[in-house]
């Protein structure tokens, strides 16, 4: 873990809250290059009606545009929830140096839970991974989202 990890994870949490406000699963992401945030993203899957609209994909697309390169060497990606298989794949494809994760996703995560696609020796690139940065805050946001969702559902069913 680096000194600045919590600071950038807080920024990723801000993005996650944007998703929350749209009633999307609250997942947020920022990408840092040379000590600066170069892109941000949050989950918009329902809003955009797009299975690709994950926080990480959005942030990777913007970061590549900003750097004018598909390679994101020297970049660190901060994400509030462990990446899925698609995002872990995109992270490796982008040659990202490092990934910092808030909380893990035991049922779907591909950075150590179900699989660890970020660190397969036989691929041509592996990313350094740091887990559990502001873990409580990240998981509490998810929990409160799903709690609220269940309550809303109950109210609907009751009406």
Name which of 7 and 22 has its Cβ closer to Zn ion.
22
Does 87 belong to an annotated binding site?
yes
Residue whose Cβ sits closest to Zn ion: 87
Question: Shortest gap between Cβ of 7 and Zn ion (angstroms)?
Answer: 23
Question: Shortest gap between Cβ of 84 and Zn ion (angstroms)?
Answer: 3
Q: CA–CA distance from 97 to each of 40, 91, 101, 127 (Å)? A: 17, 9, 14, 5
Does 29 belong to an annotated binding site?
no
Name which of 7 and 89 has its Cβ closer to Zn ion.
89
Does 138 belong to an annotated binding site?
no
Q: Is 23 an annotated catalytic residue?
A: no
Question: Shortest gap between Cβ of 27 and Zn ion (angstroms)?
Answer: 8
Out of 34, 56, 151, 157, which one is annotated catalytic? Answer: 56
CA angle 23, 26, 28 (to 5 degrees): 130
Residues that bind Zn ion (CB under 5 A): 54, 84, 86-87
Name which of 84 and 133 has its Cβ closer to Zn ion.
84
Known binding-site positions = 54, 84, 87
Annotated binding site for Zn(2+): 54, 84, 87
Residues with catalytic function: 56
């Amino acid at each position: 873990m680096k000194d600045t990890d919590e600071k950038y994870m807080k920024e990723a949490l801000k993005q996650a809250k944007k998703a929350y406000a749209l009633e999307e699963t609250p997942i947020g992401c920022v990408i840092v290059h040379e000590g600066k945030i170069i892109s941000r993203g949050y989950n918009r899957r329902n809003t955009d009606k797009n299975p690709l609209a994950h926080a990480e994909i959005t942030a990777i697309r913007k970061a590549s545009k900003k750097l004018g390169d598909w390679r994101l060497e020297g970049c660190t990606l901060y994400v509030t929830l462990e990446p899925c298989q698609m995002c872990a794949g995109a992270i490796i494809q982008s040659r990202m140096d490092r990934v910092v994760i808030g909380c893990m996703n035991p049922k779907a995560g591909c950075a150590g839970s179900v699989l660890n696609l970020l660190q397969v020796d036989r691929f041509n690139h592996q990313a350094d991974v740091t887990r559990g940065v502001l873990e409580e805050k990240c998981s509490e946001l998810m929990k409160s989202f799903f709690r609220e969702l269940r309550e809303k559902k109950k109210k609907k069913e009751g009406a």
